[in-house]
Every structure is written in structure tokens, then in C-alpha cells.
Amino acid sequence: MKIIKRNGVEEPFDVSKIAAAITKANNTVEDSYKLTEVQILRISNAVVLSCEEMHRTPTVEEVQDFVEDHIMAHGAYEVAKNYITYRYTRNLIRKSNTTDDKILSLIECNNEEAKQENSNKNPVVNSTQRDYIAGEVSRDLTSRILLSKDVVDAHNEGIIHFHDADYFAQHMHNCDLVNLEDMLQNGTVITDTLIERPHSFSTACNIATQIIAQVASNQYGGQSISLTHLAPFVQVSREKIRRSVEEEIKDLGIDIGEEKISEITEKRLREEINRGVQTIQYQVVTLLTTNGQAPFVTVFMYLGEAKNEREKEDLAIVIEEVLLQRYKGVKNEKGVWITPAFPKLIYVLEEDNIHEDSKYWYLTELAAKCTAKRMVPDYISEKKMLELKVDKNGEGHCYTCMGCRSFLTPYVDENGKPKYYGRFNQGVVTINLVDVALSSGGNREKFWQIFDERLELCHKALMQRHERLKGTLSDAAPILWQHGALARLKKGETIDKLLYGGYSTISLGYAGLYECVKYMTGKSHTDPEATPFALEIMNCMNDACRKWKAEHNIDFSLYGTPLESTTYKFAKCLQRRFGIIPGVTDKSYITNSYHVHVTEEIDAFEKLRFEAQFQHLSPGGAISYVEVPNMQHNIEAVLEVMKFIYDNIIYAELNTKSDYCQVCGYDGEIEIVEEDGKLIWRCPECGNTDQDKMNVARRTCGYIGTQFWNQGRTQEIKERVLHL
């Protein structure tokens, strides 16, 4: 068994240290209050047993909590009092400076929490360490100076989560939809260099990857681009290639006819599209931005965005090439084809591709094969979006999310035209619904009272996010604010006008709806008797967002939070505050947003149908998934799920597995097993447990993770049941 120290370092668990600490406290009391050596040994062993029952690596604070509990259980209240006093005094000393130790542990690569903080960051490489070190400084400034004490205390207790405090010291926003069309068609500037409108598809792809890298380095969330913005350059290349072919034929002094010229042109065009798409795929995978990871980018594939039939047909060619290349994968350092985490792909299901007799059905079949093997693309239903994403003019719109799931709300500009590209999200604060329920003790009246108080605390925290962005000069990130990614502001101009009126959003996140309802009703929120209470909670949060929007003219929006490392933090905080409650706090994780609990037996179609109603009530973003086995030999079933998505839910994905053991070459599912109280990954073929010698890809929170996860998320992955 191991223990996580305060600086994040993981060390072997040493029971003698517990006995020594109890003995020190014991020596400070009068003889009549002292514990015997046998009692100290029993308490120490009881603490070890309590830690083992957690089925994960405990922190120092959790072990000390157990020590206090077991000393008092023996009736040694004087010893317990002195132990608590000593612990409190030491804590005050530590609080005077905790940043140095954390930074040093990051540099030495032995900070266990940092290693598992982000499943797409490698904490060993210098660029990631540099980002983490800056993050520790930002967290320190944020907690001591930039945020109010009540928000900081609530965040530390796991009552709310103030997202991305490691970037809050800078004037940075969360995620966005990049206006690639504007930047390519009208030119842009990258590091003081003018980039004019490209004269070929391959050049447009190359410029796009440079834009992606620049945008990723100037924000902390996900970004999305649309292939539709690249499609016009297919025709540019076609005309250019045709002129070249005609000149070659003329130089040869032969006449091969128009049909043959067109055939040669299209063949060369396909080769250029192949190279252009390959540029995007490989550059995104291999780029490291200033935050130490590949750009978190989503590529949107929507035929309905094309301006005319010629452009739609060219867009279809590009989509086909993207799917073919992703199906193939990328080679790891051993030369084995594996599943990359990025770019994330989203494929829109629409009338032109959803039926067997649709013109572009072949793309949908290819998408299904790609999903079965590589976990992407994910799927957006044009039908449901047009029905549910309606602007003030009563018109529905279909558009992509920003990154993994954060959606903008419908917006009409001053000319009465819908606008999505160039917009962004200001940030997120998440309410822990489980803590609200447990704090109420199950009393409904008290629940709503506490809920209102917690929502108001989130409101206060969100306004502090907003105020941090307010007054930001466009000079802070020229690629975003001056050169077209998000706006074309003047130098020295603030971004303030983009923060109001619905142009950008700011998100109230929520987590643990399942556990909240379970505690308050005794039933899963899928139970017909409990579902109304779950929906009432959702409507209450939406009402709060509407009220705040009217008050501030800022577009507050409810967001189904994709907890990654925070699911573990919330679980630990709940256990510390309320103990182990079966079915509620007995896991090392809590459930993301509105999702059905990962252990609940439910079929794929019923799960999507049930969760659709909660997606509709999460206008700031949400995604649903179904967990499936290897589907490469059952593409028909994948297609049936896709058709169901089209008719029933805005946005969904299929979770498959894609692993490889570098030691023995096994390409099946790497298993999760428990060893010395810790969950580890192990090859079932050769027993390899070295994470550096295996490639594991799992859907984590709407996106694929490839750098492994903390113990809470690992337990959640282990316990997922299949829905198909």
C-alpha cells in the first residue's frame, strides 16, 4: 500500500509512522489518560485497515483523519485533542509556503497528482513541467489574492469547483469556435508575419495547423474548426492543377481530350487532399503548445454548411479522406498503428447521409467503421439541433461544440444573421450536487435552501471570472482578438464588448446528479419516481442562469461538466465530510453531469433516450455516450445506434477500446487490476504493468485520453458496464 504526501509525491505506506505520531501525542498527557502500547498498536492497525477499505491510495490528510477517529473510538480524548492541536499547528506552518515543495516535486517528476491531472499531458517533458510550474504559481496567486475567501474555501472543500485556477492569473478564456473562414479568406497574422489567402488546398491545411497551434497557446480550453472552411480551396487547387496539366499536354504537343485531362486533374487533386489532411492529422498530434500538450482541437464535418453543391461535393471528398486517415491511425515509436487522441472528430448526421439511399450514405458507413476501430468520430444530429437550438428569430441552427462538449447558445448579430464562429466561453464554475444533498441530510426544504445558497456562491465565482477578463487588451493575444480567430479588434482595444449581449457564454457546471437524487429519493434518477426530482434540479439551475443573464446581460449557460481529475477530488472531499454512504460516496469518483451511473445496467437505446431530456436542459454543453465492446465485426449495430442518435439526441458517442502492449504486441483490451491497494493497468497476455510500454486509449470526458488517469477516474473506467 502507498500514501500520497502533501506535495503530491507517492511513497510506500509506513505504519510505524502512525504509531510514532500517536506515541508523541500520548507522551504529552498525564499517565491516567495515556494509551497502552497495545492500544497504540491496535489503533495503528485499524488505521491501516480503514485505508485498505478505500481501495485507492490515501492522502496524508485522510490517514490523519482516520488516526483521530480511531483514537477517539478508544476513548482517549485527551490524546486525540493533543494530536489534533499538533496537526493544526503544523498545518499553519505549512500554509506559509506550500508552492515551493509542489514545484520541486514537479521538476523531479515524483508528483503523483500532477502525473494524473490530465490524461493528455506527459508530466515528464520539460514543456509540460513548465506549464505545471506556472500553474502552481497561478493557483497560489488565485487562492491568496485574486479570488474571494468564500469561493476559495468552497473550492478547497469540494463544495464547488473553480475550473482552471492554474490559468486564472492570466487574462485567458476557456474555449472557442475558430473563425477559420475569415482567417483563410481574408488573411491573418502569425507572430508578426502576414499570411495571405492560400492558393491551394495543401497550403490552406498547413496554415490551419499553424492557427490551431497559436490559438491553443493563447487559451486553456478546447477549440473547434470546420472542414467547410477548407473546402473552397479544393476548387482553387483543382483549377491550379488543371492549368498545370494543360500546360504539360501543350508542351508535349499531344491532344488527349477534355475527359482525360479531367481524370488526371482529379487524380492529382486527390493526392493533394491526401497530403493536406495528413498535414492536419500529423501536425496536430506532434505539436506541443505552450501548455505542454497537443492542441485540444475538434474538427467538424457538416455537409449542410456548404454554400453550394460543388462545395458540398468537395467537402465530401475531404471528409472521406479525414475518415480514411483516422481509421488507419498513426504510428507510435515502435512503428505500430495506434489511436491518436486528437484531433477529435465530429460527424453530423443529416438527411443527405443518414439513409441507405442518401447520396452520402457511404460517408456514414465509413464513419461507423472508423468509430468501431478508433472511437471517433462522435455524432451530432442535425435534426435535433435544428429542433432545439433555436435563435430569437425562431430559426434552428446546427453547429459544433467548442472542444469536447461546451456549446454556445444561439446568437443573432446586429445584422440579424446567426453567428457562431469567432465566439467563445469565458469559463466554468461547477456545483457539487452531491454535497448539496448530503448537507441537507435528506430534508427537501433544507435541500432547496442550501441549493440556492450554493448557486449564489457559483454566481459570485462566475462574476469573478468575468471581471478577470474584463478590461483585457486585444494585444494580450493578437491571433485571437486582432487577426481573426475570434475578432478583428484594434490594437489597444479591450475585449469588453465581446463579453456581453450573448456574444460569449459563461458556464454554470454541475456534477453528481445521479448521486444527489439517489441520496434524496433512495432511487436512481432513471427510476420514473425519481426522474421528476432530477428534472426539477435541472430546471432550477436553468432558472438561475436566466436570472443572472437578465441581471448582467451576460449569457450564463448550464453546462454538463466533464470532470476528469476533479471527480476524484470531489469523491475524497465527500468521504471526508460525510463518511462512506453506500451507493452515494462509496466510490472514488462521482458521476459526470446527468449521466446514468457507469455500473447501472441499461441498454444503449434506452440510455440515449433517457439522457436526451437532460441534454436539452444543458444548453451550455453536454454529451452522452454508450459503452460498447469491439464492434469492428458488427458495423450494422453501430449504424443502428447512429440512426437512433439522429432521431433522438443532439450529441453522442460510442466508447470502444483501442490498446496495444509494446512488450508482447498484444492489441486487445489492457485490463485494470488492483495491486497493493492501487489500481494499475496490466497486459492480460504478458503481465506488463509498465505504462511507458503500453498504449491505452479510453474515452474520458467526451475526448480520448492516452496518458492515463488518477485513481478515481481509473476506478470509474474499470466499473463501466456495456450498453450494447
When pLDDT is cut at 50, 70 and 90, the band that residue 480 belongs to is very high
**What pLDDT was estimated at residue 119?**
46
**What pLDDT was estimated at residue 133?**
75
> What is the per-residue pLDDT across 544-564, written as a single tens digit (0 to 9) for each?
999 999 999 999 999 999 887
Task: Count CB neighbours of 12 within 10 A.
Answer: 8
Residue 109 pLDDT more than 70? no
508: β partners: 429, 558
Residue 187 pLDDT more than 70? yes
Name the CA dihedral angle for 507, 508, 514, 520, rounded to a multiple of 10 degrees: -170
**What pLDDT was estimated at residue 262?**
96
Residue 591 pLDDT more than 90? yes
d(CA 84, CA 227): 60
555: β partners: 505
Residue 123 pLDDT more than 50? yes
pTM given for the model: 0.85
> What is the per-residue pLDDT across 206-220, written as a single tens digit (0 to 9) for each?
999 999 999 998 999
When pLDDT is cut at 50, 70 and 90, the band that residue 201 belongs to is very high
> What is the per-residue pLDDT across 1-49, written as a single tens digit (0 to 9) for each?
888 876 667 788 899 999 998 999 999 888 888 999 999 999 999 999 9
Q: Of all residues in the chain, what percent carry a pLDDT higher than 70?
A: 92
**Arithmetic mean of pLDDT, 123-128:** 62
- Grouping H, G, I as helix, E, B as strand and the rest as coil, residue 338 is strand
Which strand ranges, in their side-by-side order, compose the sheet holding 176-177? 176-177, 223-226, 297-301, 344-349, 378-381, 651-655, 624-627
**Arithmetic mean of pLDDT, 62-86:** 87
> What is the per-residue pLDDT across 608-654, written as a single tens digit (0 to 9) for each?
999 999 999 999 999 999 999 989 999 999 999 999 999 999 999 99
**What pLDDT was estimated at residue 704?**
76
**What pLDDT was estimated at residue 373?**
93
Catalytic residue numbers, as ranges: 174-175, 402, 404, 406, 425, 559, 564, 702
**Which is more confidently placed, 660 or 551?**
551
d(CA 204, CA 573): 48
When pLDDT is cut at 50, 70 and 90, the band that residue 97 belongs to is low
Among the residue ranges 136-145, 275-284, 426-435, 532-541, the one predicted with the least confidence is 136-145
**Arithmetic mean of pLDDT, 150-170:** 95
**What pLDDT was estimated at residue 325?**
96
> What is the per-residue pLDDT across 278-288, written as a single tens digit (0 to 9) for each?
999 888 887 76
Average pLDDT, the chain: 91
> What is the per-residue pLDDT across 392-424, written as a single tens digit (0 to 9) for each?
999 999 999 998 899 999 999 988 999 999 999
Q: What are the CA-CA distances from residue 592 to residues 209, 434, 460, 539, 614 (Å)? A: 32, 11, 23, 18, 12
Residues with Cβ < 8 Å from 269, sequence gap 6 or more?
A: 201, 234, 237, 238, 241
> What is the per-residue pLDDT across 339-376, written as a single tens digit (0 to 9) for each?
888 899 999 999 999 999 999 999 999 999 999 999 99
Q: Which residue has the cell 490523519?
A: 64
Alpha helices in 389-422 (DSSP H): none
Long-range contact set of residues 496-502: C-beta below 8 Å, sequence gap at least 24: 496/470, 496/471, 498/424, 499/426, 499/466, 499/469, 499/470, 499/554, 500/552, 500/553, 500/554, 501/553, 501/555, 502/409, 502/411, 502/555
**What pLDDT was estimated at residue 103?**
56
